Amino acid sequence: MAIQSIDEYISEFPKDIQSLMKKLRATIKKAVPEATEKISWQMPTFYLKGNLIHFAGHKKHIGLYPGIEAMEAFKEELTSYKTTKGGIQLPYDKPLPLSLVTKIVKFNIKRNSKK
């Protein structure tokens, strides 16, 4: 059966990973309290006038998927992370860059409001 909520998604992971995901989720919610939470592409997603950001647990990292525009806008600040065209790998053994996540989310709010 498919995961229906972010709480359910997070509960599938070990306790230490759940803690990181909860911090990440709280940071995103604080940056954009009016966003809707949903599961999209089988990942926790925050939505406001379009998808703002997704995250997903992997074997050794949390994948954060803010979209190509955000990746380009923040490429200098992301140099210490492994990245793909549309994603950032946040290793489980390093502190989460919560202030950077906040900046990325706020960037995506502006991006979506222009749609």
Residue 114: per-residue pLDDT: 86
Phi first, then psi: give them for residue 55, nearest 5 degrees: -140, 160
Task: Give residue limits of the domains in the chain.
Answer: 6-113
Spatial separation of the C-alpha atoms in residues 83 and 16, rounded to whole Å: 23
Mean pLDDT of 72-99: 96
Give the tokens for residue 12. 């599938």
Fold category of 6-113 in CATH:
Aspartate Aminotransferase, domain 1 (3.90.1150)
Average pLDDT over residues 22-51: 96
Task: Give Cα separations from 96 to 9, 51, 113 (angstroms).
Answer: 19, 21, 27
Give the pLDDT score at 98.
97
pLDDT-based confidence at residue 87 (cuts at 50, 70, 90): very high
pTM: 0.94
pLDDT at 45 over 70: yes
